[in-house]
Amino acid sequence: MSTTSTPARTAPRAAAAGRGPGRRGAGVTNVVLLATATVLVLIPFLWVVSLAFTPTEDAFGAPQLIPEDPTLGNFGTAWDANLGQALWNTSVVTVVAVLTNVVFATAAGYAFAMLPFRGSTALFYGLVSTAAIPVSVTLIPLFLMAKQFPLAGGNDLLGHGGSGLLDSLGGVVLPYVIGPMNIFLARQYFSAANSDLAEAARIDGAGEVRIFTRIYLPLAKPLLAVVSIFAFTGVWDDFLWPLVVTSSAETQTVQLALARFLTSGNVQYGPLMAGAVLITLPVLAVFLFNQRAFVSGLTDGSVKG
């Protein structure tokens, strides 16, 4: 982790060294304290990896950070416990949510910044404020709406007769299609963008869709990275909605598949931790490759979840 991040982070840091109270650099105590805190925070993860490689018969009794005879068997057990299917399901749902957010949320944010219309400011605040609605408030209505979704799962046009989107991947993706915070981020981003390019392109006769997709979107890579990451982690990590909307193994998401390990009476920590490693790696990889987007100014005020 440190090898990939150090060069990337020190350069802007050096440039910004004039800001904040830390302009004189850090003392030894400072670094030691920070390092100690970091190790303490990471200890649980060391144990996750350790247990994932510990044979089940050794998992009881005194835990050992370095397993005596490490095994890959736990990963096989976890995979067989529906984790493969769950990874596929979650990936499908995630790809859909990332695409819809990247296309529709950024388009909306772009229009709010660059193509305002009467009432657009009020509409913008209205849409963004839906981010504050607690999940528990919309949970039950969304469940019923998924159940009564027209022409899905054997439903007729009025949403009667079948199970609708319940227990389907379409149902799982339902609340993630467009994140209001992504609209907010997109508007913030494009508000700071230069509108001269659009003006010049208009004089050349380019249409608005073309200006957006050919000029501004390709320039907005940092925004697209952040929107994708938020859409990705939002879907990948969620638990309550998939728990409610799915009921069979065929539609289970990764977090649910992992939670199923707990219901089997006596918990097998080896396979559980192997599963935890497997489903966390994709998120961790995305994070490590995009640390700057996560820990930079673009996400100020929105790094939550």
Partner 1 sequence: MAAVTAPAAGTASAAAEGRRDRRSRRNRTRWIGVAFVAPAALYLLVFQLVPVLYGVALSLTEYSPLSRGAPRPVGLANYAALLDDPEFGQALLVTGRYVLMVLPLTVAIALGLALLANRPFRGVGAFRSALYVPHIVSLTVVSMVWLWMYSPDGLFNEWLTGLGLPEQRWLLQEDSALAAASAMRVWKALGSNMVLLLAGLQGIPRELYEAASMDGAGAWNRFRYVTLPGLRPMLTYVVAMDIVYLAQGFAEIYVLTQGGPLGSTTTVNYLIYTEAFQYNSFGSASAMAFVLFALIVSFSGLAVRGISGRKS
- The verdict on 151 binding partner 1 (CB under 8 A) reads no
Residues 250-269 that bind partner 1 (CB under 8 A): 255, 258-259, 261-262, 267, 269
- The verdict on 51 binding partner 1 (CB under 8 A) reads yes
- The verdict on 219 binding partner 1 (CB under 8 A) reads no
- The verdict on 209 binding partner 1 (CB under 8 A) reads yes
Nearest to 173 by CA among 152, 155, 190: 152
Taking CB under 8 A as the criterion, the residue among 120, 188, 201, 215 binding partner 1 is 120
- The verdict on 195 binding partner 1 (CB under 8 A) reads yes
CB 156 within 8 A of CB 212: no
3-state secondary structure the chain: CHHHHHHHHHHHHHHCCCCCHHHHCCCHHHHHHHHHHHHHHHHHHHHHHHHHCCCHHHCCCCCCCCCCCCCCHHHHHHHHHHHHHHHHHHHHHHHHHHHHHHHHHHHHHHHHHHCCCCCHHHHHHHHHHHHHCCHHHHHHHHHHHHHCCCCCCCCCCCCCCCCCCCCCHHHHHHHHCCCHHHHHHHHHHHHCCCCHHHHHHHHCCCCHHHHHHHHHHHHCHHHHHHHHHHHHHHHHHCCHHHHHHCCCHHHCCHHHHHHHHHHCCCCCHHHHHHHHHHHHHHHHHHHHHCHHHHCCHHHCCCCCC
How many chain residues touch partner 1 (CB under 8 A)? 119
- The verdict on 183 binding partner 1 (CB under 8 A) reads yes
Least Cβ distance, residue 218 to partner 1 (angstroms): 17
- Of the pair 87, 183, the CB lying nearest partner 1 is at 183
- The verdict on 289 binding partner 1 (CB under 8 A) reads no
- Of the pair 141, 218, the CB lying nearest partner 1 is at 141
Nearest to 104 by CA among 127, 129, 134, 138: 127
- Which span (67-75, 79-87, 154-162, 233-241) binds partner 1, by CB under 8 A? 233-241
Least Cβ distance, residue 250 to partner 1 (angstroms): 20
- The verdict on 78 binding partner 1 (CB under 8 A) reads no
Residues 126-145 that bind partner 1 (CB under 8 A): 127, 130, 132-145
Residues 152-181 that bind partner 1 (CB under 8 A): 174-175, 177-178, 180
- The verdict on 218 binding partner 1 (CB under 8 A) reads no
Taking CB under 8 A as the criterion, the residue among 147, 185, 217, 224 binding partner 1 is 147
- Of the pair 92, 262, the CB lying nearest partner 1 is at 262
- Of the pair 75, 236, the CB lying nearest partner 1 is at 236
Nearest to 249 by CA among 83, 136, 59: 83
Taking CB under 8 A as the criterion, the residue among 56, 91, 115, 162 binding partner 1 is 115
Least Cβ distance, residue 155 to partner 1 (angstroms): 15
- The verdict on 95 binding partner 1 (CB under 8 A) reads no
